[in-house]
Amino acid sequence: MPNAANYIVIAGSDRAAPLHGARAVGSVPSDERFEVTVRVRRRTMLGSLAANGFHSDQAPTKRKYLTREQYAADHGADPADIAKVEAFAKANGLIVIETSLARRSVFLSGTAGNFAKAFRATIQQHEHDGGTYRGRTGELSVPAELAPIIEGIFGIDNRPVAKPHFQRSKPLQGLRPHAGPAGSFAPPDLAKLYSFPSGLDGSGQCIGIIELGGGYRNVDIGAYFRKLGIPAPQVKTVRVDGATNKPSTSDSDDGEVMLDIEVAAAVAPKALIAVYFAPNTDQGFLDALTMAVHDTTNKPSVISISWGGAEINWTTQAMTSFDQALQTAAALGVTVCCASGDNGSGDGVGDGKEHVDFPASSPFALGCGGTKVIATGTAISSEVVWNESIDSATGGGVSDFFPVPAYQSVTGIPGSANPGGPMGRGVPDVGGDADPATGYQVRVDGQEFVIGGTSAVAPLWAGLIALMNQKLGQPVGFLNPLLYGSLVGKGCFKDITSGSNGAYLAKSGWDPCTGWGSPNGTKLLQALGG
C-alpha cells in the first residue's frame, strides 16, 4: 500500500467550502456505503479530429462525425488504465460495479472509511436549510502511478449542484391557442412565431433530456397532446445511478420535467424523447451526460439540459470533465442545449459579483438565454431581454473559468463586469421566449400552468435542431462556430437590442443577454444547407 508521500493531489479536486448556509455536524459513519465514479484519461486526444470539421465553421453536410463505436475504440479509455484503477480499488476494499471505455469511467462501491483511505479524503455530514448531505473539503489524492490516469473522482461529496431553471406564472383554465398580446403560448404557437420549418416532425431523431429530479406521468402527456391536437410522443425513461422517474406534486421538479418533454415534443412530435433521470450531484449530472452522449441504444442527436449552477459552486475537476464530455458530443455530432439561468447576471449567488451558469458556460454547449415576447396575431410585435427582477431575468455574462473560445475571438465579448475579472467565454449563444409572463402553457400532475425560464428555451431549441437534423439527413452538431462565422448576416436571428440582465446590456449583434437573439428557424435551416 503506498504511503502518503507517494500520493499526488488530483488537479482541480479541491472543494473549498460547504454549501452556502451549511455547517458540518460530524463525521460520516465509516461503514456508510455509497458509489463513486472515477474518470480516466482519453486513450488519444480529440485534437486530431480538427480536419473533420466538427469544431470548425464548416457546413454540417461537410462534417465527418465519429460514430459512438469509433469514439469508444479510438478515444475512449485505455483498457490498461482501467485495469490499473480496478486493481487499486480492489486493494482498498472497493467493489468495481462497472467500467465503460466510452464514458472513461470506473464505477465503484464502498464504505466511507474505504473511500476516505483510498483517496485521502475528509468526509463529514452537513446540514443546511434544504436537508443534509455528505460533504468533503480539501483535495483528493491518488498514488503517483495513477495520477496521470485519473482525471476526476465524483460521488464522495453528494451535495446538490444544480437547480432547474424554470419559473411558474399562473394556473390556466384549460389550454388555449395563442392568447394575444402579453399572453402565454402553446409551444406550437411559438414555433410558428419563430418560423420553424414546416412539414417536419422530428421523425428518426432522438431528443435526450437530462433531469436531476421530478418525474412525468404518461396520463398527463396524453392529455396535453390531445388538447394540442398533436400525436403523443414516445417518451422513454433511462435510469442513471439509481435515479427513477418519480412524479409527485405540481409544485415540485415535475414542472421542469414536464416543461422539457412537452416543449420539445410539441415542436418535434415524432422524435423519441429519452429522459435521463439522475441524482442532483456532480456525479449524477456528469454520469447522465456521459450516458446520453454515448447511448448506443437511443442515440440522441440533440440533448437538452435545463439544470445548472453558478461556476463558483463547481469544482475545477467537475467543469473540466463536463467540458470534455461536451467536446466529445461535438465530435459525435450531438448538439447540447443548456439553459443560461434565471437569476440575471448574478446567477443568484448573492455575493455582489457577476456569475455565469454552468454547464451553459462551457464553450462546447449551446447556451440558451431568455426573452420576453409579445405577439399580435401571428407576428411578434415586441421582443426584449427577459428581466422582471433580479431573480426573474435571463442569465448571461462572461465566464470566470473558460477563456474566450476561438469562434468568439472577433465577436466583441465584453470584459467581465467584475473588477479585474478575466476575458472569458461569452454566454449565451442564442435566445428565445423565457419570461413566465409570456411563457409556455404546460400540464403538470393534472394541472395546467404557464411556465417560463431559460429551461423552456433549451428544449425549444432542441426541438428545432431535431427538425433540422431530420431535413438535412445529418446532425447539425456543434453549432457554435457556425453561429459566430458563416451564419452571421444570413437573417437567421431576430436581434434583441433592448433590455439588460443586470450588469450587461443588449446591443446590436451578439450580446451577453440573448446571444445572437431568437431564431428564424426556416432561414437557419436554409443557411445550414436545408
The catalytic site residues sit at 256, 260, 455
Helical spans, DSSP H, in 101-253: 112-119, 187-193, 218-228
* DSSP single-letter state for residue 231: P
C-alpha 118/C-alpha 140 separation (Å) is 9
Tell how far CA 277 is from the center of its chain.
13
Contact assessment for residue 124 and residue 133, using Cβ atoms and an 8 Å cutoff: no
Helical spans, DSSP H, in 178-335: 187-193, 218-228, 254-267, 282-293, 316-332
- CA trace torsion 399, 404, 407, 411 (10° rounding): 80
Bridge partners (DSSP) of residue 34 are: 110
Residue that the C-alpha cell 433521470 belongs to: 277
β-pairing verdict for 163-164 and 167-171: unpaired
* DSSP single-letter state for residue 41: -
E strand or H helix at 397: strand 397-398
Nearest to 208 by CA among 136, 166, 271, 158: 271
* DSSP single-letter state for residue 197: P
C-alpha 383/C-alpha 519 separation (Å) is 12
Nearest to 455 by CA among 167, 254, 88, 176: 167
For residue 465, CA distances in Å to 250, 255, 328, 496 come to 29, 23, 18, 21
Cβ of 16: how many Cβ atoms within 10 Å?
9
Contacts of 350 (CB under 8 A, 6+ apart): none
C-alpha 175/C-alpha 448 separation (Å) is 7
C-alpha 162/C-alpha 460 separation (Å) is 20
C-alpha 78/C-alpha 38 separation (Å) is 14
Contacts of 278 (CB under 8 A, 6+ apart): 210, 211, 212, 240, 241, 243, 284, 285, 287, 288, 291
Residue that the C-alpha cell 415524432 belongs to: 270
Contacts of 414 (CB under 8 A, 6+ apart): 398, 426, 504, 512
Residues in the chain: 530
